[in-house]
């Protein structure tokens, strides 16, 4: 899979999103960080799948007890964190080998129910117009109420959107926004992938029901996938929500400093401002990029708890102005 395509604004240089945010790193250092390799992503993916095998074993060991919900939640968290390799592979940077990026993106997208090629084009628009309320298809607007905040965390908007994406992909009836970010000559390929995904989901359902093994996908995949989504929502909200709605990537994107376990299962995506500044830097070098950047160039949050505590406070008080000191 090639690097993400870029959507060029129609309004040219008068469009503030057409001006790239300067990367505060010397070109030589940046070029060194951009070097790709297969090894780190292979090891990362092997570790991620090993953890999934372990949580699957825990589900098997605790069924039919209600205690099985605990490993199911862990399983679901690991499944939704496959969003991270889907994301990295959509940029074509996780692996040096293009076919590995394509294959892993499709594998993760299948388990996540997020078709990879569709995501690739949608995500390209997100990068081109980060935090533009009109053009960023992935923007999570600042919630109006605490109820709205928890609705976002629980995925109340996500699930209808996901079902709609699959339906429109199968039928080829894309909405106006999708027609904007999916090139016309690529819509057939995007629909073909969605149809293959949906056909495989149907095949799994038919075969497992016919053979009496339906509990396997339900207990080890579907229920965990559903109850794990709020975990991913929590992390995704922290990336941009409550930040500036402007083109400056240093103020519209949030890096969150966290522990090594989270950085591993989320494939270094907590270094999110760094990723937006230089999407060509592979995920496994984002920590090095963070260390290379001048200390005063970023306004990182110290932990996801502080991010969400501050968001709830701001929603309750109606304070839409971002204050980096509140999460430092």
Whether residue 94 contacts residue 41, with contact meaning beta carbons closer than 8 Å, is answered with: yes
Residue 207 pLDDT: 98
Residues of the chain with pLDDT under 70: 1-13
Q: What are the two backbone dihedrals, phi and then psi, of residue 205, each rounded to the nearest 5 degrees?
A: -60, -45
CA neighbor of 257 nearest in space, from 278, 271, 243 = 271
CA neighbor of 49 nearest in space, from 75, 20, 88, 69 = 75
Residue 13 pLDDT: 58
Residue 322 pLDDT: 85
Residue 215 pLDDT: 97
**What does pTM read for this prediction?**
0.93
Q: How many residues does the chain have?
A: 328
Task: Delimit the domains of the chain by residue range.
Answer: 32-316
DSSP code per residue over 58-87: HHHHHTTSGGGHHHHHHHHHHHHTTHHHHH
């Amino acid at each position: 899979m090639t690097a993400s395509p870029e959507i060029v604004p129609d309004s040219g240089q008068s469009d503030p999103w057409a001006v790239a945010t300067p990367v505060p790193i010397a070109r030589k250092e940046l070029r060194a960080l951009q070097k790709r390799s297969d090894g780190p992503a292979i090891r990362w993916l092997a570790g991620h799948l090993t953890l999934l095998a372990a949580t699957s074993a825990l589900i098997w060991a605790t069924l039919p007890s209600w205690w099985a919900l605990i490993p199911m939640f862990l399983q679901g968290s690991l499944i939704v964190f496959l969003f991270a390799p889907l994301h990295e592979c959509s940029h074509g940077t996780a692996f040096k080998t293009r076919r590995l990026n394509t294959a892993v993106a499709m594998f993760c997208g299948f388990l996540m129910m997020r078709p990879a090629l569709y995501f690739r084009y949608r995500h390209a628009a997100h990068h081109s117009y980060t935090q533009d309320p009109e053009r960023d298809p992935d923007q999570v607007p600042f919630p109006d109420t605490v109820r709205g905040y928890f609705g976002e965390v629980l995925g109340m908007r996500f699930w209808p959107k996901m079902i709609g994406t699959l339906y429109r992909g199968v039928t080829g009836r894309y909405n106006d926004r999708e027609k904007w970010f999916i090139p016309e000559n690529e819509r057939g390929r995007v629909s073909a992938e969605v149809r293959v995904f949906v056909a495989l989901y149907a095949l799994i359902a038919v075969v497992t029901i016919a053979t009496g093994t339906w509990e396997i996908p339900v207990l080890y995949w579907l229920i965990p996938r559903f109850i794990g989504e709020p975990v991913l929502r929590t992390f995704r909200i922290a990336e941009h929500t409550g930040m500036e709605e402007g083109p400056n990537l240093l103020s519209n994107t949030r890096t969150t400093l966290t522990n090594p376990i989270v950085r591993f299962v989320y494939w270094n995506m907590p270094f999110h401002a760094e990723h937006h500044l230089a999407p060509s830097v592979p995920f496994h070098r984002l920590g090095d990029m963070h260390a290379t950047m001048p200390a005063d160039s970023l306004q990182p949050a110290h932990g996801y708890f502080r991010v969400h505590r501050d968001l709830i406070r701001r929603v309750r008080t109606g304070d839409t102005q971002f204050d980096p000191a509140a999460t430092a």
